[in-house]
C-alpha cells in the first residue's frame, strides 16, 4: 500500500464522478460506471474536507472535533480512507511535504520521549488500550501509535525511532518522521508520553 504523509494535502476528484447523498451516506459513482464507493458520515466529512488546502493531519483534527474520537484513531481512520480513495482515483495528492527529511540534517526529530510511567498498554487484537493509571483514563491506540509508544525508551530520539520504523516498513524516512512527530504530539497532549531529553 502506498504511504501518504499526514502532511500531504488531499483534493477530492469531482470531474467524472457523481456524488449523491443517500440518507447518512454519500455515494460516489464514476460516470463510466466502473467503480462506486459508499461513505459513512465520517467518510463524508473527510470527503468534504479534502479541498486541496487541508493536510491529512488537519482533516483528522477536524474529524476528532466533530465526532469526539481519540486523536490517533481519527488520524488512522482518515489515513486509511484517503489512501483507499487515492487508490480508486477518487482523491488526489495535491502536495506532499518537502523531501528535506531524508538526511541527517533534519530540523526537529532530536527530542527524546519516554512512555509515562503511569501508563500501561494492553493489546486487544488489532487495537490497543493505553490506561493512564493516575487519571483512570483509557485511550485507544491503533497499531502505528502502539508501535511508536513502545519504541519511546527514553534513549532514542524521534529521528532514530523514525529511522528504525522506516527500515522496518520500507517507507521513506521523511514521511515516517512527520507521522511519528504528529502521533507523539497527540500522545503528549493526552499525557501518555513525556519528553525527557534532547539530542544535540
d(CA 93, CA 12): 9
Judgement on whether residues 91 and 20 belong to the same structural domain of the protein: yes
Boundary of a domain, candidates 38, 63, 95: 95
The residue among 184, 197, 176 whose CA lies nearest residue 5 is: 176
Q: What is the average per-residue pLDDT within 65-94?
A: 84
pLDDT, position 139: 87
> No. of H helices and E strands in the chain?
6, 12
Q: What is the CATH number of the domain that holds 33?
A: 3.90.930.60
- Measured between its terminal Cα atoms, the distance across the chain in Å is 35
The answer to whether position 3 is within a domain reads no
Residue 2 is assigned to a structural domain of this protein:
no
**Phi, psi (rounded to 5 degrees) for 114:** -140, 145
Cell of 180: 511519528
User: Considering the chain, what percentage of its residues have pLDDT values greater than 70?
Assistant: 88
Are both 77 and 24 inside the same structural domain?
yes
pLDDT digits (tens, 9 = 90+) for 43-56: 999 999 999 888 88
3-19 pLDDT, tens per residue? 677 788 888 888 888 88
Amino acid at each position: 500500500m502506498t504511504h501518504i504523509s499526514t502532511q500531504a494535502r488531499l483534493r477530492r476528484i469531482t470531474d467524472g464522478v457523481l456524488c449523491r447523498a443517500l440518507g447518512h451516506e454519500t455515494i460516489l459513482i464514476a460516470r463510466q460506471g466502473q467503480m462506486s464507493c459508499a461513505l459513512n458520515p465520517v467518510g463524508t466529512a473527510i470527503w468534504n474536507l479534502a479541498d486541496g488546502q487541508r493536510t491529512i493531519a488537519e482533516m483528522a483534527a477536524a474529524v476528532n472535533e466533530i465526532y469526539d474520537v481519540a486523536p490517533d484513531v481519527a488520524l488512522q481512520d482518515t489515513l486509511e480512507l484517503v489512501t483507499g480513495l487515492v487508490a480508486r482515483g477518487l482523491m488526489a495528492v495535491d502536495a506532499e511535504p518537502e523531501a528535506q527529511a531524508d538526511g541527517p540534517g533534519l530540523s526537529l526529530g532530536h527530542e527524546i520521549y519516554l512512555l509515562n510511567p503511569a501508563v500501561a498498554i494492553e493489546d486487544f487484537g488489532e487495537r490497543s488500550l493505553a490506561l493512564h493509571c493516575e487519571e483512570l483514563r483509557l485511550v485507544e491506540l491503533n497499531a502505528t501509535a502502539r508501535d511508536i509508544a513502545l519504541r519511546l525508551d527514553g534513549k532514542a530520539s524521534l529521528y532514530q525511532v523514525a529511522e528504525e520504523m522506516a527500515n522496518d516498513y520500507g517507507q521513506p524516512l521523511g514521511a515516517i518522521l512527520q507521522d511519528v512527530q504528529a502521533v507523539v504530539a497527540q500522545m503528549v497532549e493526552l499525557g501518555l508520553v513525556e519528553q525527557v531529553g534532547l539530542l544535540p
